[in-house]
């Protein structure tokens, strides 16, 4: 009788250990998987000084941990300006990239950082205006 009890206790311990191990491995594997921000994303930037809001579009491509693509924004003349993404990186669910373009004779660099969650990227955009740092929040939605 004592032998049956010890055998049952040992088998139960082994089974519980196996179940816990599978759960821990599944969690570790999920953490290793990166979010995939590949695709077309858009968001609205509030207009300044009574100007209308502007819809910005980013087309992102991911290769390993490198992010490339373009950011398109409406110009004041009604046209669209496409700017190449530089320094793009993906680490886990964090995406960062920069764009640079000339605005009224001055080179402007915009640094984007955000967290990818499904079909949303939420983060901050930083740039300098008149020598002062400017931070704006952005929340992009993936276009279907």
Per-residue pLDDT reduced to its tens digit, 10-30: 655 665 655 655 555 444 444
The CATH code belonging to domain 39-142 is: 2.40.128.120
- Sequential DSSP letters for 76-102: TTS-EEEEE-EEEEEETTEEEEEEEEE
Model confidence pTM above 0.85: no
Per-residue pLDDT tens digits for 26-52 = 444 444 456 899 999 999 988 878 888
Res. 75 pLDDT band, cuts 50 70 90:
confident
Query: Which of the pair, 116 or 26, is modelled with greater confidence?
Result: 116
By the 10 Å C-beta count (0-12 exposed, 13-18 middle, 19+ buried), 70 is classed as middle
Q: Do 102 and 108 form a contact (C-beta atoms < 8 A)?
A: yes
């Amino acid at each position: 009788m004592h032998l049956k009890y010890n055998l049952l206790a040992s088998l139960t311990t082994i089974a519980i250990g196996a179940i816990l191990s599978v759960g821990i491995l599944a969690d570790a594997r999920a953490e290793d998987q990166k979010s995939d921000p590949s695709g077309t994303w858009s968001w609205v930037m509030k207009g300044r000084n009574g100007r209308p809001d502007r819809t910005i579009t980013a087309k992102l491509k991911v290769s390993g941990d490198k992010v490339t693509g373009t950011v398109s924004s409406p110009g004041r003349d009604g046209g669209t300006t496409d700017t190449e993404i530089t320094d793009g990186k993906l680490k886990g669910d964090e995406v960062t990239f920069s764009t640079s373009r000339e605005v009224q004779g001055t080179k402007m660099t915009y640094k984007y950082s955000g967290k990818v969650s499904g079909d949303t990227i939420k983060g901050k955009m930083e740039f300098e205006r008149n020598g002062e740092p400017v931070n704006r929040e952005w929340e992009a939605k993936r276009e279907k």
